[in-house]
Structure 1
Amino acid sequence: MSTHAPSGHSRSSLTKAQKFSIAGVATLGAAALAFSIVPGSSEAEAEALDSHAAAWSTPAHAQTVQASVSKQQANASKQAKDAAAKAAADKKAADEAAAKKRAEDERKAKEAASRAAARKPVYANNLDGWIRQSLDIMKSKGIPGSYDGLHRNIMRESTGNPNAKNGWDINAINGTPSIGLLQVIQPTFSAYHVEGTSTNIYDPVANITAAANYAADRYGSIDNVNSAY
């Protein structure tokens, strides 16, 4: 049968050496704790940085950063929209200005054409009108001649008939009859035709102008012609 030591004896059985050891550990722990809280120590600085970083990572700070980013994005979006709106407004203004200028140019062109038409003389479709129209063309081309010189020779050559045709003189015999108001043969008409007039030898204005051009080249002026030429 086993024997047991009294329980009271086991609680008070620490040796003196053990008691000294426990006291030493406690003393060292207190010293270490005191050292760890000395200001300026590396551990204190690390704890301060950790505390500062923790403060920056709080939900309140994250919300502030997010709000700032959202505000910057909103500002950038607004600036982009404003720039697009300005560009559209500038384009619209430019298009309107161009359209206004085109309309103004067209209006001026019509007015100029209207004034030119108003200034353009209207010639009567008769001998007087044909002579006057021929004289204006002759003047613009530098061909000499007067109303009297033209009228006098016309009356002698054709009595004012634009369809007159000589079928018996030497020209007719040679196959090139004299034709029109001033009795011009086709080769002469073609050689002295004045640009801007009809190419039809029977046309009154074309016939007069070509004959006056020929007379100016050969006699100096239709005014100098007083007989067959």
Structure 2
Amino acid sequence: MRSTTTGTARLTKTHKLSAAGITVAMGAAALAMAVTPGQATETPSIAVKPVAWTTTDLGAHDHITQQAKTTAADAAEAKKKADAAAKAKADKARADQQAASRSQARTPVKPAPAKPAAPAKPAAPAAPVKKAYADNLDGWIKESLDILKSKNIPATYEGIKRNVMRESTGNPRAINDWDINAANGVPSKGLLQIIDPTFKAYHVEGTSWDPYDPVANITASCNYAADKYGSMDNVNSAY
């Protein structure tokens, strides 16, 4: 079957069903002619009823079309609901964040408690500066006088120097090996000619234990003179 327009016409499912009906009708007519004797040469007159297109024939097509529309509508509705849910979730998250920001802005920040300052460490006591003394008779007498003063032992520079010059003429290594002390085995030694037993008995703490040491010799001798005569200043001869 061709259409009035140019090109080959397409057959729909309904058209195909109508053509099939016609073919069946023609087949039935031919069979009737074949079984009737004596009429083989006659051409029977067959009335062909036109096949009408009914709503039943269109139902399958309409059902498919309706189902496709329903599926598309369901998909669109599902997408709409999903978009609405996503938007609601985003709006809630945004609102929660804004509320938290406002709450944080209203909450006063407590300053951290100040740590108490560590107590200042007391300064280490300064090391005493050792006084320098000359390594001669003048320096020996001055150093000995400072020690004697710290021990409350009386003496003066003049009294010490006067007795030193008489006893040893200022020689710290002087020794008497001829008097009675020498004869007894304990010669007098040093600047103020003190014997070992007396030096040991009157030794002043902080000085050397060597009787020939000039400062130790002067200090022990002044300690002995203060005990026996009140002060080295009161000694004017052998003592």
Q: Which bracket does the TM-score occupy, shorter chain normalised?
A: 0.5 to 0.7
Q: Cα RMSD over matched residues?
A: 3.4
For 2:163 and 2:124, locate their aligned partners in 1 and report how far apart those are by CA, in whole Å.
Answer: 42
Q: Could you tell me which residue of structure 1 aligns to residue 140 of structure 2?
A: 130
Q: Which amino acid aligns with 1:228?
A: A
Aligned with 1:145: secondary structure? coil
The number of residues matched between the two structures is 138
Q: Which runs of 5+ in 2 are unaligned?
A: 1-111
Q: Which amino acid aligns with 1:174?
A: N
| 2:156 corresponds to which of 132, 146, 149 | 146
Matches within 5 A, 1:55-94: none
For 1:146 and 1:193, locate their aligned partners in 2 and report how far apart those are by CA, in whole Å.
Answer: 19
Q: Could you tell me which residue of structure 1 aligns to residue 184 of structure 2?
A: 174
For 1:160 and 1:144, locate their aligned partners in 2 and report how far apart those are by CA, in whole Å.
Answer: 21
Q: Could you tell me which residue of structure 1 aligns to residue 217 of structure 2?
A: 207
Q: Could you tell me which residue of structure 1 aligns to residue 234 of structure 2?
A: 224
Identity %: 66
Shift of 1:205: 0.5
Instruction: Judging by fraction of residues, say which structure has more helix.
Output: 1
Shift of 1:225: 0.4
Aligned with 1:129: secondary structure? helix
Q: Which structure has the greater CA radius of gyration?
A: 2
Q: Could you tell me which residue of structure 2 aligns to residue 75 of structure 1?
A: none
For 1:97 and 1:146, locate their aligned partners in 2 and report how far apart those are by CA, in whole Å.
Answer: 51
Q: Which amino acid aligns with 1:132?
A: K
For 2:174 and 2:204, locate their aligned partners in 1 and report how far apart those are by CA, in whole Å.
Answer: 21
Q: Could you tell me which residue of structure 2 aligns to residue 109 of structure 1?
A: 124
Q: Which amino acid aligns with 1:186?
A: D
Aligned with 1:125: secondary structure? coil
- Per-residue CA deviation, residues 131-158 of structure 1 (Å, 9 max, x unaligned), is 0011111111111110000000000000
For 2:124 and 2:183, locate their aligned partners in 1 and report how far apart those are by CA, in whole Å.
Answer: 54
For 1:109 and 1:206, locate their aligned partners in 2 and report how far apart those are by CA, in whole Å.
Answer: 31
Q: Does 1:121 align with 2:131?
A: yes
Q: Which runs of 4+ in 1 moved over 4 A?
A: none
